[in-house]
Amino acid sequence: MSQLAMKKMAAEAALAYVKDDSIIGVGSGSTVNCFIEALATIKHKIKGAVAASKASEQLLRKQGIEVFSANDVTELDIYVDGADEINPQKMMIKGGGAALTREKIVAALAKTFICIVDQSKQVDVLGSTFSLPIEVIPMARSQVARQLVGLGGFPIYREGVVTDNGNVILDIANFTILEPMAMEQALNNIAGVVTNGIFALRGADIVIVGTPEGIKTL
């Protein structure tokens, strides 16, 4: 079975958590794109969505789903998003699509974070397969990179990428994260870092994994 088919399966299974008349938090990435397509089939049942990226916002509007600003809502029932890696404690690395900051903001508004992934995203230790993205204020790029080296990382500038917030991305390669909560906090304390891609302090509540054998819900 293809990776896309597994992503679609996970995305469609997330529809079961969508409550009538609710506003849904929607992340970004290819798995979320499948979710937006699936959401369109029940769009008459929901009020709309808050999007975590300009790309998701466009796709939601294209499907005829109303998009609300994060400032318009005090709480979301669910937030549905993909991940680049997820560990057994439901902590994640995100930001492969450079949308990590808005993803963290919308996730923080939600009562329940539903992570939809194909089975290739499951890891025992975060950082084992995917580089850790860090969103950085452009003028602080070199200074932040030096501090990341001090933490044992090997930051690589994601050239040509500007985030929806006008910032740049440094990806830390080969960065094994043994204590995700402590590392998330430590990285947040570096001046010039807007957000880091560790989602441990606020991890997922429900994980829906698409596998060749069907859906697994954790």
- 43 labelled binding-site residue: no
Q: How many CB atoms lie within 10 A of CB 89?
A: 12
Choice among 103, 135, 159, 179 that is catalytic: 103
**Whether 135 contacts 194, CB under 8 Å:** yes
82 is in an annotated binding site: yes
83: contact with ligand 5RP by CB under 6 A: yes
Residue from 15, 22, 30, 216 touching ligand 5RP (CB under 6 A): that is 30
3-state secondary structure of 100: helix
Runs of H (alpha helix) within 126-193: 141-150, 180-188
Which residues have C-beta within 8 Å of that of residue 139, sequence separation ≥ 6? 192
Q: 121 among the known binding-site residues?
A: yes
Identify the residue among 84, 85, 135, 171 touching ligand 5RP (CB under 6 A).
Answer: 84
Residue 135 falls in the annotated catalytic set: no
Q: How far apart are CA 175 and CA 178, in angstroms?
A: 9
Count of residues touching ligand 5RP (by CB under 6 A): 17
Q: What residues does 107 pair with on adjacent strands?
A: none
Q: Which stretch binds ligand 5RP (CB under 6 A): 40-48, 92-100, 138-146, 203-211?
A: 92-100
Applying CB under 6 A, does 97 fall inside the site for ligand 5RP? yes
- Helices 3-13 and 30-40 meet at what angle, rounded to 10? 50
CB of 34 to ligand 5RP, least distance (A): 8
Residues at the annotated binding site for substrate? 28-31, 81-84, 94-97, 121
Q: Which residues are catalytic?
A: 103
Chain contacts with ligand 5RP (rule: CB under 6 A)? 27-31, 81-84, 94-100, 103
